[in-house]
Amino acid sequence: MTAPIGPTGSVWADAALERLDVAFSAARDPEAAVAMRAYMRDQFDFVGIQSAARTAIARDAFAGLGRPTADDVLAFAHESWARPERDHQYVAARLLRRHVTLLDATAIDDLRTLTITKSWWDTVDELSRNVVGPLVLAHPELVEVMDRWIDDDDLWLARTAILHQGTSKAATDADRLFRYCLRRAADTEFFLRKAIGWALRDYSKVDQAAVRAFVAAHDAELSGLSKREALRYWERVAATEARRSAGH
């Protein structure tokens, strides 16, 4: 198992990391690790622990340590991102999600660092929807940061800006969502085109008519992938209802 890189400056984080090291070492599954690495296009090493088991291990590691502070959570996250195995980043991302209400607006700088470090859709999407999004919603002044990220050359920051309202539901700023989608609509990057579609699909569950109208109005600007993803949810609903009707 990788040795700890050094004290984080947080007693809580150091204790949690030490416990995780011991538990991960005991649960290591080399065969599963190879499969997980292959699934992620050989970009990251893995301990080889499945999601449910990893969640249980993390819960036990955090048990009895008391409620962490924002500094504890961020220290844990940065140290976890420094570890080579992807499992560590998954645990840290979920911890950030769980304790996002502890974070203040200054945490956006930490989240930027995590977003552009060891970037891939798995961690970026978790952070964007479940950490960055709630943080921006709680601190509206951070909208200015999203306005910068949408134009950033780093595709993962742009993807985060597009996706960050994914769990906002009725609190979604639709005008900003549509503006962001159009801002990157001409981009040929797969991960941005997919993000546009997913962001629109999420909002379609709140206001289907608005999303359909937006897609129709900008048919020539949006990629086929973005349009398919945007409308996929309600097309599936319609298909399910049609099958049910046919069955009767």
Give domain limits for the chain. 1-102, 143-248
pLDDT per position in the chain (248 positions), as tens? 444 445 788 999 999 999 999 999 999 999 999 999 999 999 999 999 999 999 999 999 999 999 999 999 999 999 999 999 999 999 999 999 999 999 999 999 999 999 999 999 999 999 999 999 999 999 999 999 999 999 999 999 999 999 999 999 999 999 999 999 999 999 999 999 999 999 999 999 999 999 999 999 999 999 999 999 999 999 888 778 777 877 75
Quick one: pLDDT at residue 2?
Answer: 44
Quick one: pLDDT at residue 248?
Answer: 57
CA separation, residue 201 to residues 66, 119, 233, 234 (Å): 39, 23, 6, 9
Quick one: pLDDT at residue 245?
Answer: 77
CA separation, residue 241 to residues 102, 152, 211, 235 (Å): 43, 42, 20, 10
Sign of CA dihedral 125, 127, 128, 134: positive
* 72-100: b (≥16 Cβ within 10 Å) or e: bbbbbbbbbbbbebbbbbbbbbbbbeebb
Collect all residues with Cβ–Cβ distance below 8 Å to 3 and sequence separation of at least 6: none
The rounded distance, in Å, linking the Cα atoms of 33 and 102 is 33
DSSP single-letter state for residue 129: I
Q: What are phi and psi of 181, to 5 degrees?
A: -60, -45
pTM, full prediction: 0.93
Centre a 10 Å sphere on the Cβ of residue 119 and count the other Cβ atoms it contains. Answer: 19
Quick one: pLDDT at residue 5?
Answer: 44
Q: Which helix (H) or strand (E) holds 245?
A: helix 224-247
Task: Tell whether domain 1-102 is in CATH 3.40.630.30.
Answer: no
Q: Are 236 and 243 in contact (CB under 8 A)?
A: no
Given this chain, do its domains 1-102 and 143-248 carry the same CATH topology? yes
Could you tell me the two tokens for 71? 């500094």
Quick one: pLDDT at residue 6?
Answer: 55
Fold type of domain 143-248: Leucine-rich Repeat Variant (1.25.10)
Torsion angle, alpha carbons of 162, 168, 169, 173, to 10: -60
